[in-house]
Amino acid sequence: MITSPSSLRRSERSRRATLDAALELCTEKGYNRVTVEAIAARAGVSKKTIYRWWPSKVGVMLEAFTQVLVGVTPFVETGDIAADLRAHINGLVRLLSTPPYGPAYSGILSEMHHDEELARAVREQLVTPRFEAAVERLRRAQEQGQVPAGADLPLAVELLYGPVYYRHVLRKPSQDEATVAALVAHVLRSLTAGAPPADAPEGSPGRVPGQGRVS
Q: Is 158 in the site for its own copies (CB under 8 A)?
A: yes
The three-state secondary structure class of 197 is coil
66 within 8 A of 161, measured Cβ to Cβ: no
Q: Find the binding residues for its own copies in span 126-145 (CB under 8 A).
A: 127
Nearer to its own copies, 45 or 163 (CB): 163
Q: Give the binding-site size for its own copies (rule: CB under 8 A).
A: 54
43 within 8 A of 64, measured Cβ to Cβ: no
112 within 8 A of 119, measured Cβ to Cβ: yes
* Exposed/middle/buried for residue 50 (C-beta within 10 Å: 0-12, 13-18, 19+): buried
21 within 8 A of 28, measured Cβ to Cβ: no
Nearer to its own copies, 63 or 102 (CB): 102
Q: Find the binding residues for its own copies in span 10-39 (CB under 8 A).
A: 30-32
Q: Is the dihedral of CA 215, 82, 92, 162 positive or negative?
A: positive
CB of 60 to its own copies, least distance (A): 18
CA dist., res. 153 & res. 139, Å (int): 7
Q: Is 166 in the site for its own copies (CB under 8 A)?
A: yes
Q: Is 101 in the site for its own copies (CB under 8 A)?
A: no
CA dist., res. 150 & res. 211, Å (int): 9
- CB contact set of 187 (below 8 Å; sequence gap of 6+): 85, 156, 159, 160
Nearer to its own copies, 52 or 172 (CB): 172
Nearer to its own copies, 109 or 200 (CB): 109
Q: Which stretch binds its own copies (CB under 8 A): 40-48, 54-62, 89-97, 183-191?
A: 183-191
136 vs 123, 130, 139, 156, CA distance in Å?
17, 10, 5, 12
State which of residues 2, 4, 116, 145 lies at the interface with its own copies (CB under 8 A). 116
Q: Is 204 in the site for its own copies (CB under 8 A)?
A: no
CB of 157 to its own copies, least distance (A): 9
Residues contributing to the site for its own copies (CB under 8 A) = 30-32, 106-107, 109-114, 116, 119, 122-123, 127, 152, 155-156, 158-159, 161-167, 169-173, 176, 178-179, 181-183, 185-187, 189-194, 208-210, 213-215
